[in-house]
């Protein structure tokens, strides 16, 4: 009996030391990690300090204009931009995490935000990118419908040692930006993956060889891509090119993920139709006839990411049409081998 009493007393003391007293708040009510809503495979720390960086943009030709600079560990969670002039074709966005000296993103601003092949601005409502054109402004003589959209990026940009985002242009650019970021205390580490983006363009594509969307070596996963089509060959429908092919880990454990035709690979049927959802959508189309169509599709692989442990080669079969693509992927920097040059003249 005495042994039982002693055991119960020891259990009570242990419980009192471990559990907080009644009515006391927990030390930190937020989860240690949580899945990112746009990129669920990415597990981000749930305990952070939220900050916002605002900028009045004045890009001088030939000089980088800083948009965001941070030291330590954290994650950029949302970027918003607006510009005061219609023409921003010369504007580039550059993103560098952890002071590597080699940016993970460098490409035309409009391309990064899903506005491809110089098409007129269009609404985008995807998990990763959101674009709000000014189609409805009609009663203000100073704000015509040709004004710049509000550009939004919700793809997380994690960093362990710091992050820099800046703009470059060969022509003057004015505007504004807001960057929402999360900053971690000492001992809280971001995930190992870093955001990368690759752009490719062909005007027109060569039907004798596949059009490259992404080629990379290392450990990571494909998060999503945008692809634009402008029909130049009118012998058949722009969609009839046999679709995309993804080769995963070709040197060690080759796996093919094959598509069918253009619209099928994005979850559509019978061509471009302007519907959008978080994961797949068609934000732009121009239908001048059966064999004369343009359009833009996107797909984000939130529910069905494509991981790779050695390499990923992503291509589309080609016709003699204009193609532009932007692929978003996350990769571990320490494993990132030398990356082949892209075909967009960067």
Tens of pLDDT, residue by residue over 190-237, are 999 999 999 999 999 999 999 999 999 999 999 999 999 999 999 998
Query: Given pLDDT bands bounded at 50, 70 and 90, which one contains residue 262?
Result: confident
Tens of pLDDT, residue by residue over 85-98, are 888 999 999 999 99
Query: Given pLDDT bands bounded at 50, 70 and 90, which one contains residue 143?
Result: low
Q: Is residue 264 part of a domain?
A: yes
Which carries the bigger pLDDT value, residue 172 or residue 12?
172
The answer to whether residue 272 scores a pLDDT higher than 80 is yes
Tens of pLDDT, residue by residue over 179-190, are 999 999 999 999
Q: What is the spatial distance between Cα 169 and Cα 173, in angstroms, rounded to a whole number? A: 7
Q: Is residue 9 part of a domain?
A: no
* pLDDT value at residue 144: 60
* pLDDT value at residue 255: 80
The answer to whether residue 2 scores a pLDDT higher than 90 is no
Average pLDDT, rounded, for the chain: 87
* pLDDT value at residue 340: 47
Query: Given pLDDT bands bounded at 50, 70 and 90, which one contains residue 137?
Result: low
Q: Is residue 341 part of a domain?
A: no
Q: Is residue 10 part of a domain?
A: no
Q: What is the spatial distance between Cα 317 and Cα 260, in angstroms, rounded to a whole number? A: 10
The answer to whether residue 276 scores a pLDDT higher than 60 is yes
Tens of pLDDT, residue by residue over 7-19, are 544 444 444 444 4
Tens of pLDDT, residue by residue over 54-73, are 999 999 999 999 999 999 99
β-strand pairing of 129-132 with 211-217: unpaired
* pLDDT value at residue 9: 46
Bond before 204 cis per omega within 30 degrees? yes
- How many structural domains comprise the chain? 1
* pLDDT value at residue 251: 72
Q: 263 Cβ partners below 8 Å, 6+ apart?
A: 239, 269, 270, 271, 272, 282, 297
Q: Is residue 346 part of a domain?
A: no
Once rounded to an integer, what is the mean pLDDT over residues 99-121?
A: 96
Instruction: Assign residue 125 the CATH number of its domain.
Output: 2.60.120.1390
Residue 129 near residue 300 (C-beta atoms within 8 A): no
* pLDDT value at residue 337: 47
Q: What is the spatial distance between Cα 280 and Cα 207, in angstroms, rounded to a whole number? A: 26
Q: Is residue 20 part of a domain?
A: no
Once rounded to an integer, what is the mean pLDDT over residues 96-125?
A: 96
Q: Is residue 315 part of a domain?
A: yes
Tens of pLDDT, residue by residue over 38-47, are 999 999 999 9
Residue recorded with tokens 């409805």: 136
* pLDDT value at residue 226: 98
Q: Is residue 310 part of a domain?
A: yes
Query: Given pLDDT bands bounded at 50, 70 and 90, which one contains residue 134?
Result: confident
User: Which domain covers residue 275, as residue numbers?
Assistant: 33-335
Closest CA to 311 of 220, 200, 199, 225: 220
* pLDDT value at residue 308: 96
Number of other CB atoms surrounding residue 250 within 10 Å: 14
Closest CA to 122 of 283, 297, 266: 283
Once rounded to an integer, what is the mean pLDDT over residues 17-23?
A: 47
């Amino acid at each position: 009996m005495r042994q039982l009493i002693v055991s119960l007393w020891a259990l009570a003391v242990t419980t009192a030391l471990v559990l907080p007293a009644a009515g006391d708040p927990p030390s930190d009510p937020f989860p240690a990690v949580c899945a990112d809503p746009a990129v669920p495979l990415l597990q981000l720390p749930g305990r952070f300090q939220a900050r916002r960086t605002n900028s009045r943009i004045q890009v001088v030709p030939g000089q980088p204009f800083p948009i965001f600079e941070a030291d330590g560990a954290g994650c950029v969670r949302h970027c918003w931009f607006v510009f005061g002039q219609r023409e921003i074709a010369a504007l580039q966005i550059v993103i560098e995490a952890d002071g590597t000296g080699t940016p993970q993103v460098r490409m035309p601003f409009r391309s990064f935000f899903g506005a491809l092949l110089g098409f007129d601005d269009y609404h985008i409502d995807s998990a990763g990118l959101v674009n709000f054109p000014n189609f409805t402004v009609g009663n203000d003589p100073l704000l015509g419908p040709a004004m710049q959209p509000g550009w939004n990026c919700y793809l997380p940009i994690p960093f362990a040692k710091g992050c820099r985002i800046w703009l470059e242009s060969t022509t003057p650019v004015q505007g504004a930006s807001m960057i929402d970021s999360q900053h971690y205390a000492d001992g809280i580490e971001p995930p190992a993956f870093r955001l990368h983006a690759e752009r490719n363009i062909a005007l027109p594509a060569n039907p004798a060889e596949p059009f490259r969307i992404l080629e990379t070596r290392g450990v990571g996963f494909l998060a999503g891509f945008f692809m634009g089509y402008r029909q130049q060959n009118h012998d058949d429908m722009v969609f009839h090119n046999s679709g995309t092919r993804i080769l995963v880990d070709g040197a060690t454990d080759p796996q093919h993920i094959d598509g069918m035709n253009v619209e099928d690979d994005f979850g559509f049927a019978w061509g471009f139709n302007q519907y959008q959802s978080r994961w797949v959508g068609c934000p732009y189309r121009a239908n001048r006839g059966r064999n004369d169509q343009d359009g833009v599709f996107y797909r984000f692989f939130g529910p069905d990411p494509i991981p790779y442990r050695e390499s990923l080669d992503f291509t589309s079969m080609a016709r003699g049409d204009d193609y532009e693509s932007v692929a978003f992927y996350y990769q571990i920097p320490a494993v990132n081998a030398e990356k082949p040059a892209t075909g967009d003249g960067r």
